A = this chain, B = another copy of it.
């Protein structure tokens, strides 16, 4: 066991020297924002010993070197929009916020890429690309508030991953501060790279446990001119999910294929106080397609309509994009409004197994007498199941939830699925990670962690236990 040291006043003074007094905070009242992420519940609230808000990679490197010298945990922090408590200081330490590394450094049109600092909001990246006629294809649902650095650290997915992949596929390179406080660029402006190990790909999704991201090279592409959103309403979960493979095999490559179950739809409806189409009994499949000509889109639209209708859809509508995406994106908030405490599961399974998972969740929900709402990035096999505490006494909830999760993931792993499709493991799923991950894989991960962070200071207590 690593023995971490406390942050002493002398260390706080040293940190102030690096970043300036103004950007060092040890005042509990002012640290509230940094004490949690999007996961609710007192047990997920922890205060760091100090929050530092550096401006440059060099400052971050200097901070990390102090932490290394003293063996103090360093918790990299983005916008705090995560669903896994990866950016919460469960073991004290120095929280390094990237909010002041907030510059778009370069828009390199000739090379179709942008160079951005980690603290730029995802939506700002999207807007900067959009304004020049380009698309940045990463689009997590939290994009209005999340930072691009956090997207990279968690390999954020989102609603466009069907066509464009997750954040991993958008990244050409990273500058990081290593766990030993050195600054290094991995990858860069090259589109292909077979020059040794691809360490950037290893850092992506490592949730701040291997280093701190200080610069991101991301690709952009010409923006498709036309987008169209279709809503197909099915009477059953089975029928709605069955259409997904049919669409994906048709030769049409949609941008998004989203599933919402009936309970989830009604919950959003209630939260938004808006009637959603056919919400009485319907299950939704939302399909977005994009292209450069109205014609091409219309052809695809007709094909999808025919496919859905022939496969049991009761209704296929051209959806109002604002309304339908507002509904879809409100899912988390709607559940939170229903039940402040809830567990957002991020199950990922082979695409064809989604219906099995949704049915299993329904069965388990009934057996455990817990409300579970489901949406899915259906063509990615990624099921978000929100399990609601509602008015259950806390001690019953805390007893029931782990048992339910265990049954869920026993099933998920038995069909080739995994714990997280896009939210990551963080602190919240660590015990499940330890339980369900192949021990050899876990051993390899620990070995990599030990190799790149010998002192174990980078975001300890996240993803897996360091042994």
Chain A residues packing against B (C-beta within 8 Å): 108-112, 154-155, 157, 161, 165-166, 168-169, 178, 182-186, 188-199, 201-202, 204-206, 210, 221-225, 245, 248-251, 253, 292-293, 296, 299, 346, 348-352, 377, 379-382, 416-425, 433, 437-438, 440-442, 444-445, 447-452, 463-464
Contacts and interface: CB of A to CB of B under 8 A. Distances in A.
Given A110-B351, A351-B111, A192 B381 contact: yes
A109 B199 CA distance: 32
A197 B202 contact: yes
A169 B442 CA distance: 24
A178 B440 contact: yes
B194 A155 contact: yes
Contact of A451 (B109, B112, B450): B450
Given A110-B350, A197-B449, A448-B452, 19 more contacts: A108-B352, A111-B245, A111-B350, A112-B351, A166-B194, A169-B169, A184-B440, A194-B346, A194-B421, A194-B425, A195-B420, A196-B433, A196-B437, A196-B441, A196-B463, A196-B464, A198-B202, A447-B451, A450-B451
* Copies of this chain: 2
A416 B109 CA distance: 16
Contacts of A445: 196-197, 199
Nearest to A446: B451
Given A195-B433, A202-B198, A190 B418 contact: yes
A437 B409 CA distance: 43
Contacts of A249: 109, 112, 222
Contacts of A348: 190-195
Given A169-B169, A222-B249, A292-B251, A194 B444 contact: no
Given A197-B206, A221-B253, A463-B196, A189 B448 contact: no
A205 B352 CA distance: 29
Contact of A222 (B183, B250, B416, B417): B250
19 contacts: A111-B350, A166-B192, A184-B438, A184-B440, A185-B441, A186-B441, A190-B381, A190-B417, A193-B420, A193-B421, A194-B425, A196-B442, A197-B202, A197-B445, A197-B448, A198-B202, A199-B441, A447-B451, A448-B452
